[in-house]
Structure 1
Amino acid sequence: MFVAHGFRCAAIAVMLITLPCTLIAEDKFPLGDDLRLLESDTQSQEYAALLAQMNGPDLDAEWRRVETRDSAATFAKQQGGLEKVKADPALQAAYERRAKIREDYLNLIRGVYAQRKQTAPFDKGQVAMAAGTVRGSEVPALDLAIVLPSPGAEKQWPRFRGPTGQGIAVGDASTQWPTTWSDTENIAWKATLPGDGNSSPVIWNDRIFLTTAGAAGSQRSLHALDTKNGAIVWTYELPEHAIEPDVRDKNGFASATPVTDGERVITYFGSGGLICCDMQGKLLWKYDTSNFNSLWGSGASPLLYENLVILVHDQNRGASLAVALDKVTGERVWSIERPKAMGWSTPTIVRMKERDELLYAGGEMLTAYEPRTGKQLWSLAGPTKEVVPTIVIGERLIYSASGRQGPTLAVRPGGSGDVSETHLAWTAVRGGPHVPSPVLFDNKLFVVNDFGIATCVDALTGEFVWQERIRDKFSASGVLLGDTIYFPSETGVTYLIRASGKYELVGKNSLPDPILASPAAINGRIYMRSGRVLYAIEQPQ
């Protein structure tokens, strides 16, 4: 027995001595989250199918993920250089693993381009910028506040992404939010809508407002529904008008979210104009935007500020639109010229001690205007040429994310002129979403991008906290309920992720329809809208 035990110990000793360096390297030099996801993607048939579905701009952005924070080149530099790495078997194994992931990923991308009879950009000399966070200037930060659209708005869901425009649920510490649901479970009611659309529902007291459109942009309508049962209370149908060209199916003709102050509801229909109805559905005024002409269609939502309704919507064919109207009369108060660009971001307003600033990201520029006059205050270069996400406002910084796989910028407002060199606090080089907007909680910025990469960064420093893959696609922006963010997907699954410094998926709930509209969450009820169905989701009390 002693001899057998001795042989066993000897065998274990031999195993330890001959343990492959790759296993030692995996334990001692684990992959960073973004490189780990890259390795997983190279081995995934689901990811290969996703690549095959990507359009040209998305694929061009996707291959740049190869330059991770933990790439072979970065690893070698961090370890003291390639010669030192090659002299240590464990270091060399870790380096070679990283190099192999890179080559496997590029081969995967290369194959997709080959199927399209194209040469991959990296085989034509294009180089991706290294991932990571670039620190900016140290200008003293200001205390920031969010401007609500009207008195009493804090108790309502009056605009895109709620009263603050930040995707934060309306409730208190005692509010019980639903954590499980299906097509038949925890559904207070569901309403079939008389048309398609991706506009989010907005709520004021017992009324829900949203928009729909018929086939090819016909019969565009604003509806008011009853919160008790989802019944349509009234409909304002837009008169016949010229239909804008080249509207993408995924975007549709009813994507802009209405805004209300409890006395009127205002919404934007692209070439159908900006319209204002009273709370009973009577048309009060209409502002003509019949010359709207931009690839993929309209989508930016109007914003209320004091006595103004403000609409900013860049166009790459027609003249970009930036206008403020008297919300009572519809008379134009100011309008400004903006360069032609493709953009669907909804503006927001930040308040500092000395002034308010209207913030808008688009056309490769983040710009601040004086909201009462439209006068430009400052600008900062950095966003990509197509911006959809809304700007997020923190206690000291504002955050602008843009895709495709573009940067996330942390900026100190309050400047004058070109502040690109003076007011940029940090830049996260890659990973920005094309459509979904980020959520800020506890000084952490959370986002799930269009192709399912969930990321958390430190909002104060821009440092990477965690990253995980959700094998789904996303267009809707997440909403924060308590300490959990609800991210609806294009397959109808909503992913519940804990808003913390560690990735934790706490639930998944399915509905039978794709969800592209951002949800509303108020007083314990979630309103989730698919193209033609509105769901009221509620936990039984």
Structure 2
Amino acid sequence: MIWSVGEKSVWWGMLAAGATLLAGGCSGSTKPVAVKDPAAIAKAAAVEPAEGDWPWWMGPTRDNHAAGELPPLTWDENTNVVWRADLSGSGHASPIVEGDAVFVATADEKSQTKSLICLDRQDGKQRWQTIVHRGSFMHIHPKNSQASATPACDGEQVYTVFMIDGGIWATALDRQGEIVWQTKAGDFRSLHGYGSSPLLYKSLLIVAGDSSGGGFLTALYRDSGEIAWRTARESNNSFGTPILMERDGKQQIVLAGHSRLIGYDPDTGQELWNAEGPAATTANTVVSDGSLIFASGGHPERNLYAVDPATGSIAWQQNVKVYVPSLLTVGKRLLALSDDGVARLYEADSGKRVWQERLGGDFTASPVACGEYVFATNEAGLTYVFRAGDKLEPATENQLGTHGFATPVICGGRLYLRTENALYCIGN
């Protein structure tokens, strides 16, 4: 079914039975909110993804590493395509896969709607489409989209984050496509748009908004949409996604932007540590090998570096621009794929470069690893499959469509690739 949201059903979706509309912040500002019960948050159970699912940005381990069966290494429009689903609208958000369903965020510029689509995991048939927002689109960069934030799913609800009408709005939907709640996480201003995906932590949904009018990191209770805490960040546009990392047995939220890499306590939103860099503006997600944290930025500085979170000191640094694609750990090494298609492999502990090779085309999507292979899709829809060993070992090149801005997803032995107006499931 398709939930059509016209004038009448907009109000139904926000205010009717079971749905809650909550406004966070006030006009022209996003005020900090102190946590009321951090102990209750700390005691809440962690969200445990099921084996074979990919329920949020960068997968279950939040590092773009896929476990389990390897998908096919070759495909095209007529080879190893399990199903193809046409999508209304477009977007750069990755699909997420949870249980028997695939969820995709999309936006239609013509109808001025932003939606969540649910597909059947086995055959790709559409189950429902819920319009989450109508109208009030904001300006974006030509290479961005109106649906760039990847949804997240905890098994019971699916969470979307969209930039709309001067703010960042988080929405929870049940698995039947009904809106449960909708909350403004904070005010937001940017000429380039939005691209930060939501993060699940215990009972919370974490949303970042690095805005030119005052940034924020907001935690909302997943059951109600009520704001648990909100921490102010500096006024500068950045577009990266916060990530969870563990140190000394405790998890931290780590986020780069406005020339600082910062670790936060996820129970309270309090800053734990910070390090200078990597750049004033970042647009990807930091990664870690369990010891060092790796981050990169591309405007205005060209900077790729490793930070020791115990001291906040920089372990090593390279004058390299990796702006939008996220970094990828490969064993004890680090793969950096720059926006202009240059792939570089470094020793993770020292920053020593192992090799540098140029792939064809420009890149927005991040590389994904499965087994010994790396899958990297360029903006023209060409996916390079290779091994990142002592040298770059090409395996295959696969063309699908003409649009490759969304990071691919690998789970259950299948590869999910989003093109401009379609989603492909690649498998044997």
Q: Could you say whether these structures have the same fold, taking a TM-score greater than 0.5 normalized by the shorter chain as the test? A: yes
Q: 1:265 aligns with which of 144, 155, 158?
A: 158
* 5+ long unaligned stretches in structure 2: 1-44
Q: Name the residue aligned to 1:199.
A: 93
More helix by share: 1
SS at match of 1:474: coil
The alpha carbon displacement at 1:512 in A equals 2.1
Q: Name the residue aligned to 2:347.
A: 458
Does structure 1 residue 526 correspond to structure 2 residue 420?
no
Cα 1:406/1:153, change in 2 over 3 Å: farther
Does structure 1 residue 408 correspond to structure 2 residue 408?
no
The alpha carbon displacement at 1:152 in A equals 3.1
* 8 Å CA contact retained: 1:446, 1:455: yes
Amino acid paired to 1:352: R
Distance in 2 between residues matched to 1:256 and 1:152, nearest whole Å: 19
Q: 1:152 aligns with which of 19, 29, 49?
A: 49
Distance in 2 between residues matched to 1:325 and 1:402, nearest whole Å: 28
* 8 Å CA contact retained: 2:186, 2:209: no
Alignment of 1:271-286 (within 5 A): 271=164, 273-286=169-182
The alpha carbon displacement at 1:267 in A equals 0.9
The alpha carbon displacement at 1:406 in A equals 2.0
Q: Name the residue aligned to 2:58.
A: 161
- Name the TM-score, length of structure 2 as normaliser: 0.85
* 8 Å CA contact retained: 2:297, 2:304: yes
| Over 4 Å off, 4+ runs | none
SS at match of 1:238: strand
Q: 1:306 aligns with which of 181, 189, 202?
A: 202
Q: 1:425 aligns with which of 289, 295, 315?
A: 315
Alignment of 1:428-507 (within 5 A): 428=318, 430-507=319-396
Render the CA deviation track for 1:120-150: whole Å, top value 9, x for unaligned. Answer: xxxxxxxxxxxxxxxxxxxxxxxxxxxx961
Q: Name the residue aligned to 1:223.
A: 117
* 8 Å CA contact retained: 2:46, 2:203: no
* 8 Å CA contact retained: 2:49, 2:55: no
Distance in 2 between residues matched to 1:349 and 1:448, nearest whole Å: 22
Amino acid paired to 1:368: G
Distance in 2 between residues matched to 1:347 and 1:448, nearest whole Å: 20
Amino acid paired to 1:395: G
SS at match of 1:343: coil
Alignment of 1:361-380 (within 5 A): 361-380=256-275
Distance in 1 between residues matched to 2:359 and 2:83, nearest whole Å: 29
Q: Name the residue aligned to 1:288.
A: 184
Render the CA deviation track for 1:381-403: whole Å, top value 9, x for unaligned. Answer: 02111111211121311111222
Alignment of 1:40-119 (within 5 A): none
Bigger drift between 371-380 and 347-356 goes to 347-356
Amino acid paired to 1:229: D
More strand by share: 2
The alpha carbon displacement at 1:239 in A equals 3.8
Cα 1:176/1:380, change in 2 over 3 Å: closer
* 8 Å CA contact retained: 1:365, 1:381: yes
SS at match of 1:288: strand
The alpha carbon displacement at 1:290 in A equals 7.6
SS at match of 2:164: helix
Bigger drift between 366-375 and 230-239 goes to 230-239
* 8 Å CA contact retained: 2:64, 2:368: yes
Q: Name the residue aligned to 2:286.
A: 391
* 5+ long unaligned stretches in structure 1: 1-147
- The aligned length equals 380
Amino acid paired to 1:162: G
Q: 2:241 aligns with which of 328, 331, 346?
A: 346
The alpha carbon displacement at 1:466 in A equals 0.3
The alpha carbon displacement at 1:413 in A equals 1.8
* 8 Å CA contact retained: 1:389, 1:436: yes
Distance in 2 between residues matched to 1:289 and 1:524, nearest whole Å: 36
Q: Name the residue aligned to 1:141.
A: none
Does structure 1 residue 170 correspond to structure 2 residue 63?
no
Cα 1:291/1:167, change in 2 over 3 Å: same
* 8 Å CA contact retained: 1:444, 1:456: yes
SS at match of 1:322: strand
Amino acid paired to 1:487: A
Q: Name the residue aligned to 1:69.
A: none
Amino acid paired to 1:262: G
Render the CA deviation track for 1:139-198: whole Å, top value 9, x for unaligned. Answer: xxxxxxxxx961234542011111111111131xxx242111111111111111011111
* 8 Å CA contact retained: 1:271, 1:290: no
SS at match of 1:425: strand
Q: Name the residue aligned to 1:514.
A: 403
Distance in 2 between residues matched to 1:252 and 1:216, nearest whole Å: 13
Amino acid paired to 1:490: E
SS at match of 1:440: strand
Distance in 2 between residues matched to 1:221 and 1:471, nearest whole Å: 33
Highest CA radius of gyration, 1 or 2? 1
Cα 1:378/1:303, change in 2 over 3 Å: same
Distance in 1 between residues matched to 2:285 and 2:249, nearest whole Å: 23
* C-alpha RMSD of matched pairs (Å): 1.7
Does structure 1 residue 249 correspond to structure 2 residue 142?
yes
Distance in 2 between residues matched to 1:265 and 1:229, nearest whole Å: 20
Amino acid paired to 2:113: Q
The alpha carbon displacement at 1:305 in A equals 0.2
Distance in 1 between residues matched to 2:393 and 2:254, nearest whole Å: 33
Cα 1:164/1:149, change in 2 over 3 Å: farther
The alpha carbon displacement at 1:447 in A equals 2.3
Distance in 2 between residues matched to 1:163 and 1:207, nearest whole Å: 16
The alpha carbon displacement at 1:202 in A equals 0.4
The alpha carbon displacement at 1:349 in A equals 1.2
The alpha carbon displacement at 1:215 in A equals 1.3
* 8 Å CA contact retained: 1:271, 1:289: no
% identical aligned pairs: 34
